Structure 1
Amino acid sequence: MNKFIASAVLTATLSACGTAQAERAVPIPAAKMDVPKTAGLQTAVLAGGCFWGLEAVFERVKGVKAVTAGYAGGTRSTASYDQVATERTGHAEAVKLVYDPAQVSYGTLLRVYFSIAHNPTELNRQGPDSGPSYRSAIFPQTAQQKAVAAAYIAQLGQARVFPKPIVTKLEGGAFFPAEEYHQNFFDRNPTHPYIVRWDKPKVAGFKAGFPSLAR
């Protein structure tokens, strides 16, 4: 469902029932394999449902210097919200993270991603949003990231920390920034019905589950 349509449906529900309780981070182990620390900033690209919530969570992670909402997996010519919403572009809503590996590792970012930023067991959907643009996908930016992501998915699968199989895929493709009105949407629209219902609980859950990582 288009998130703007979902927001209209949610307005009356939130007025009658109040806001949702904070989500809890799924207690998952740290990655056994990680990308070695390097000098300089690094980039990660992750997809897992609406990029508003992903952006909001990762903006609050210590060591993450910048977060950009955008599209990954399709072409530049179709990297717009109206086209991506048709579910025919191959794009996923995603975020690009610029982070300092001296402060936070790639494996730690993946731990937050799998634990609270989204549900990795939902296929082509997250919450009220359905379609391949809301899929769970990691877009490794280096061969090391690809190896670490693959190993961590396998590690979590073997540990059976989720009640259902992980459906997250490793994909290739460029990242394209989304429209300006999507950037920093959580902080600029704190009373938006979608933010209140789906994203504020994630942020609260992150802060509760990862206090040492939260800004």
Structure 2
Amino acid sequence: MKATFGAGCFWGVEAVFKELEGVISTQVGYMGGTLAHPTYEQVCTNETGHAEVVEIKYNPLRISYEDLLEVFWNSHNPTSLNRQGEDRGSQYRSAIFFHDAEQEKTAHASKEKKGVEGTFKKPIVTEISRASEFYRAEEYHQNYFEKNGVAACSI
């Protein structure tokens, strides 16, 4: 199974998800924009419409989509429009890109539950959209923290 999330800088998002039991693999890239095969530099202009995302392949017998959504909600601020920490721009938006009708239903229910529970003090601005073409980011972005001996983003 596959899940795709945007939750700010994709380096940190990938690091969170890749450590979960049941996650088979992760890769970072771009989704939700208008330009085919965008580069990081193009995405950073805020003109392509892409979000920085992590694509997760997971074993649903070991971890559920609901569990992945819970990690998603807890790993970033879904009330901040086009911003996570000091990172600003539409590529840092909070987004769930669903791959099938069941994921769509589950994502909407999860978002509504978080809103009703009052988990966040402000309204949730997370976009929920059908997954479009995934464009793998440049190789130096893949497993960035691991390759560079960094533990987390410095915000």
**Cα contact 1:52–1:182 (8 A) shared by 2:** yes
Alignment match, 2:77:
119
**Superposed displacement of residue 196, structure 1:** 5.1
Range moving further from structure 2, 183-192 or 78-87 = 183-192
Taking a change above 3 Å as real, the CA distance of residues 55 and 191 of structure 1, as seen in their structure-2 partners, is: closer
**Partners of 2:107 and 2:39 in 1: how far apart?**
27
**Partners of 1:175 and 1:191 in 2: how far apart?**
26
Matches within 5 A, 1:166-185: 166-172=124-130, 173-185=132-144
**Superposed displacement of residue 75, structure 1:** 3.9
**Partners of 2:95 and 2:17 in 1: how far apart?**
16
Alignment match, 1:148:
106
Structure 1: which amino acid aligns with 2:154?
R
Give the number of aligned pairs. 154
> Unpaired segments of 5 or more residues in structure 1?
1-41, 199-215
Alignment match, 1:105:
64
**Cα contact 1:78–1:89 (8 A) shared by 2:** no
**Partners of 1:102 and 1:78 in 2: how far apart?**
33
**Superposed displacement of residue 197, structure 1:** 2.1
Structure 1 stretches of 4+ with a deviation exceeding 3 A read none
Alignment match, 2:22:
63
* Cα deviation code 1:14-61 (max 9, x no counterpart): xxxxxxxxxxxxxxxxxxxxxxxxxxxx00000010000000000101
Identity among equivalent positions (%) equals 47
**Partners of 1:112 and 1:196 in 2: how far apart?**
17
**Superposed displacement of residue 77, structure 1:** 2.4
**Partners of 1:156 and 1:47 in 2: how far apart?**
17
**Cα contact 1:78–1:84 (8 A) shared by 2:** no
Match among 44, 49, 63 for residue 90 of structure 1: 49
**Partners of 1:48 and 1:160 in 2: how far apart?**
20
**Partners of 2:33 and 2:153 in 1: how far apart?**
30
Q: Under a length normalisation based on structure 1, what TM-score does the superposition of the two structures give? A: 0.69
**Cα contact 1:71–1:176 (8 A) shared by 2:** yes
**Cα contact 2:9–2:87 (8 A) shared by 1:** yes
**Cα contact 2:35–2:48 (8 A) shared by 1:** no
Q: Under a length normalisation based on structure 2, what TM-score does the superposition of the two structures give? A: 0.95
> Unpaired segments of 5 or more residues in structure 2?
none
Alignment match, 1:7:
none
Whether 2:6 is the aligned partner of 1:47: answer yes
Could you say which structure has the higher strand fraction? Answer: 2
